[in-house]
Amino acid sequence: MEKLKPYHTFGLDVSADGISFLEKTEDCISFLRHRNPKLLLGCGSDVLFTENFSGQIGIMRTAGVDICEDQECYHVRASAGEIWHKLVASLTYQGIAGLENLALIPGTCGAAPVQNIGAYGREFSDFCEYVEAVDASGSVVRFAPAECAFGYRFSRFKGEWRDRLVITAIGLRLPKRWKPVLDYGPLRSLQTVSDLKPVDLLEHIVEIRRARIPDPAVLGNAGSFFQNPVVDEPCCQRLREEFPDVPAFSLGNGSFKVPAGWLIDRAGLKGFRYHNAGVYDKQALILVNYGGAEPADLMELARHVAGCVYDRFGVRLHPEVRIFGKTGEISLD
C-alpha cells in the first residue's frame, strides 16, 4: 500500500495499492491499459477519498509550455502536468494577459477542462482553443471547445468520456487586446483604477483568495465542496418570499443560480464542526480537515450540511468535489 496523503489536498490518511507517475504520453497510454480499478490524479485538489483505494493511482507529471503568436492572439500549449497557477502567473508577468481571474486555483492544466474551472466571472472555456487527449488504443485526439460541452463546472471529460481518456495537453487562445473582467463583487473596486495592468489584477485576486480561502498546506480542503444549485422560477420566487435577501442570479433561461455558501451560512452552519472536520468559518462553502479528520467525518459532515440546507430551503446541494470509494467514484447519498 502507498500513502495518498501527499497527493490530495484534503490531507487524509488514506492509501492506494500502487502509485505511478506519468511523465510522457506513453505512460498515459500504459496507465489507461492498466486493469481497473485505477484513478488518474493531477494535484488531487478536487477529490475526497472515503477509504483506501484498491487500485492504481496515476499522477500526471508531463511538462512543457509552448507559446506562439499571430497578430491578434497568443496561442499557448501547456502539457497536462503543468501547474495551472504557475502558468497563469508566468504568462501574466511575461505580459501575456487574460487568465488573471483564474489565478491561484490549485491543480494541473490537464484537470482545468475536466470541470471547466472558474472564478471571478471567468471560466477555462473562455480561453480554450483545444484539449488534447489519448485513449487506450494510443490515438491522440484533439477536441475543439464545442466538442467538450463545457458548462458550469462540467465537461464531457467529467461526463461520458470519464475514465476513457487522459488529457495530455491544453491549448489556450489569449487575445492581445486585454479586456479585464471586473463585474464580480470584490473586483468592482478596480473599475475606477486608471491604468490598471494585468499584473495588478492578478495580485489583487491572489490577495483576495489568500484572505478568504484556506491554504490546503495549512488546512486540508478541496475548495468549494458543493456546486451552486440552479433552481427554477417557482422555487426562486418561494425563496425570495421567505428570504428577501437571497442572492439569486438569473441565468436567462427561467432558471436561477443560488450561492450554496449563502444557503449553508443561513442554515447556521458556518463554523460548524464535526469531530476534526468542519465548515470553514470564513467561507461556508468550504469543508476543512482541522487535522486528523477521518474520511467518514467529512462524508458525515457533507451529508449533514446538504440535509440541513434541504430541510431549511427545500434546495438540494450536489458536491463539486469528486468522491472516491474503494474502487471508484461514488455519490454523497
Query: Which residues carry out catalysis?
Result: 153, 224, 320
Contacts for 253 with CB less than 8 Å, ≥ 6 apart: none
- Nearest CB to ligand FAD, comparing residues 166 and 235: 166
Burial (CB < 10 A; 0-12, 13-18, 19+), residue 244, is exposed
Contact status: 107 vs ligand FAD (CB under 6 A): yes
3-class secondary-structure state, position 14: coil
Q: Out of 96, 166, 235, 293, point to the residue binding ligand FAD (CB under 6 A).
A: 166
Sketch the per residue contact string, 57 through 96, with ligand FAD: x for CB under 6 A, - otherwise. ---x-------------------x----------------
Contact status: 14 vs ligand FAD (CB under 6 A): no
Provide, rounded to whole angstroms, the least separation between the CB of residue 5 and ligand FAD: 14
Backbone angles phi, psi at 237, to 5 degrees: -65, -45
Contact status: 145 vs ligand FAD (CB under 6 A): no
Provide, rounded to whole angstroms, the least separation between the CB of residue 252 and ligand FAD: 21
Per-residue CA distances from 301 to 96, 181, 277 (Å): 42, 35, 7
Nearest-10 Cα torsion for 184, 189, 192, 195? -90
Residue 176: in which H helix or E strand, if any? none
Total residues contacting ligand FAD (rule CB under 6 A)? 33
Are the beta carbons of 68 and 174 closer than 8 angstroms?
no
Near ligand FAD by CB under 6 A, which window of 35-43, 139-147, 262-270, 302-310? 35-43
Provide, rounded to whole angstroms, the least separation between the CB of residue 114 and ligand FAD: 4
Contact status: 213 vs ligand FAD (CB under 6 A): yes
Nearest to 312, CA basis, from 243, 247, 257: 243
Contact status: 319 vs ligand FAD (CB under 6 A): no
| β-strands 140-143, 128-135 pairing | antiparallel
Sketch the per residue contact string, 219 through 238, with ligand FAD: x for CB under 6 A, - otherwise. --xxx---------------
Distance CA 100, CA 293 (A): 34
Contact status: 150 vs ligand FAD (CB under 6 A): no
Contact status: 261 vs ligand FAD (CB under 6 A): no
Backbone angles phi, psi at 95, to 5 degrees: 90, 15
Distance CA 73, CA 175 (A): 4
- Nearest CB to ligand FAD, comparing residues 213 and 235: 213
Contact status: 44 vs ligand FAD (CB under 6 A): yes
Q: At what angle do helices 198-212 and 84-93 cross, to 10 degrees?
A: 150
Are the beta carbons of 285 and 260 closer than 8 angstroms?
yes
Distance CA 270, CA 296 (A): 20
Provide, rounded to whole angstroms, the least separation between the CB of residue 324 and ligand FAD: 8
Near ligand FAD by CB under 6 A, which window of 39-47, 233-241, 288-296, 301-309? 39-47
Contact status: 112 vs ligand FAD (CB under 6 A): yes
Contact status: 56 vs ligand FAD (CB under 6 A): no
Residue 169 bridge partners (DSSP): 79, 132
Per-residue CA distances from 291 to 156, 276, 287 (Å): 35, 6, 12
Near ligand FAD by CB under 6 A, which window of 63-71, 111-119, 234-242, 304-312? 111-119
Contact status: 108 vs ligand FAD (CB under 6 A): yes
Binding site for ligand FAD (CB under 6 A): 9, 39-47, 60, 80, 105-108, 110-112, 114-115, 117-119, 157, 166-167, 213, 216, 221-223, 322
